[in-house]
């Protein structure tokens, strides 16, 4: 008879643990979103270890709960509601985090492309080598910039 309350308490304890873990994960991810929006990428590395620990704990807790889903029928309704609420909050935060990560990635890619183009342009301008046609590369770049396209109307 003492084993029945113990088995009922294990899922409830696990639910409390999952709720606490999810709240911590949401907090870390929210901070990560703030850092991404502020483009403070280097500071995010401090959060990665903490985030990894929380993700592993969440996976462990949720896998324990999935082993016996029937316990949800006997779970306190307030606890069940709190679990649903934090999972919904986690899903929303994950979506926001993904959006912020993609925005930061796109921004970094644009920046890198601008740097590459500026370096290539500077390299062409300051080049003292000859092109395949025998013209200095720097003169060719200047000529290309100075040339304006023209179309003559040949109808008379």
C-alpha to C-alpha distance for 62 and 57, rounded to whole angstroms: 9
pLDDT score, position 66 = 86
pLDDT score, position 1 = 41
pLDDT score, position 78 = 93
- Average pLDDT per block of 10 residues along the chain, 156 residues long: 49 90 96 90 87 95 86 87 95 94 88 88 72 62 53 56
C-alpha to C-alpha distance for 47 and 65, rounded to whole angstroms: 27
Q: How far apart are the first and last CA of the chain?
A: 108
**Whether 17 contacts 83, CB under 8 Å:** no
User: CB under 8 Å to 101, separation ≥6 — which residues?
Assistant: 36
pLDDT score, position 7 = 46
Find the helix packing angle between 77-125 and 137-146, rounded to 10°: 110
C-alpha to C-alpha distance for 44 and 116, rounded to whole angstroms: 26
pLDDT score, position 125 = 72
Closest residue by Cα to residue 16 from 88, 69, 65, 67: 65
pLDDT score, position 3 = 43
User: CB under 8 Å to 65, separation ≥6 — which residues?
Assistant: 11, 14, 15, 18, 71
Report the predicted TM-score, pTM, of the whole model to 2 decimal places.
0.66
User: CB under 8 Å to 82, separation ≥6 — which residues?
Assistant: 19
**Whether 154 contacts 148, CB under 8 Å:** no
Q: Output the DSSP codes for 130-151.
A: B-TTSSBHHHHHHHHHH-----
């Amino acid at each position: 008879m003492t084993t029945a309350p113990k088995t009922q308490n294990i899922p409830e304890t696990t639910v409390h643990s999952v709720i606490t873990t999810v709240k911590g994960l949401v907090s870390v991810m929210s901070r990560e979103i703030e850092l991404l929006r502020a483009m403070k990428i280097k500071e995010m590395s401090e959060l990665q270890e903490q985030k990894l620990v929380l993700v592993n704990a969440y996976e462990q807790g949720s896998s324990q709960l999935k082993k016996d889903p029937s316990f949800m029928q006997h779970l306190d309704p307030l606890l069940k509601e709190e679990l649903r609420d934090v999972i919904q909050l986690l899903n929303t935060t994950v979506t926001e985090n993904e959006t912020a990560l993609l925005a930061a990635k796109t921004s970094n890619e644009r920046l890198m492309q601008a740097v590459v183009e500026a370096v290539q342009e500077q390299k062409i301008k300051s080049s003292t080598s000859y092109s395949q046609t025998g013209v200095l590369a720097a003169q060719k770049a200047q000529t290309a910039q100075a040339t304006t396209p023209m179309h003559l109307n040949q109808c008379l």
